[in-house]
């Protein structure tokens, strides 16, 4: 089954394992939240590339693992671009004593959760986000 989810690499060599299964999982999560999936683009990149986006678009001079841009014109529709630093994901996997794939999947769904309206600015929001991430990760069938 094809989904309007695309995966690209920018300035690095990276190919997502089981991309069709990952896309189906992401689409299922969106559907479970009763949102419509219009278009979702993931761009895997380096720390340097994402750092420049962070400076240029968000005026943040910090490294980050993910930046999510919501391009939807209406409520209840997912249309966005999610940039993920593979360098950060690798480092975070080590720091959190988890596999690269598990950390990558957590970050992939973290961006979707932002598009679904979940926030993570306060400790309470961050706890709710982590709970949602864990719930989504438990639904993987790959």
Residues of the binding site for Zn(2+): 110, 114, 120
76: Cα within 13 Å, side-chain hemisphere:
1
Report helix, strand or coil for 103: helix
Annotated binding site: 110, 114, 120
Rounded to the nearest 5 percent, the helix, strand and coil shares of the chain are 45, 20, 30
Neighbour order of strands in the sheet with 77-85? 5-9, 36-45, 77-85, 66-70
């Amino acid at each position: 089954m094809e989904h309007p989810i695309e995966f690209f690499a920018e300035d690095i060599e990276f190919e997502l394992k089981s991309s069709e299964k990952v896309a189906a999982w992401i689409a299922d999560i969106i559907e479970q939240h009763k949102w419509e999936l219009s278009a979702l683009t993931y761009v895997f990149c380096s720390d340097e590339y994402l750092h420049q986006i962070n400076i240029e678009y968000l005026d943040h001079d910090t490294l980050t693992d993910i930046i999510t841009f919501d391009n939807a014109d209406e409520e209840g529709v997912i249309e966005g671009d999610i940039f993920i630093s593979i360098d950060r994901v690798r480092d975070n996997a080590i720091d959190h004593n988890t596999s690269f794939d598990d950390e990558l999947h957590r970050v992939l769904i973290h961006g979707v959760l932002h598009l679904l309206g979940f926030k993570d600015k306060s400790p309470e929001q961050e706890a709710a986000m982590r709970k949602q991430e864990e719930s989504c990760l438990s639904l993987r069938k790959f």
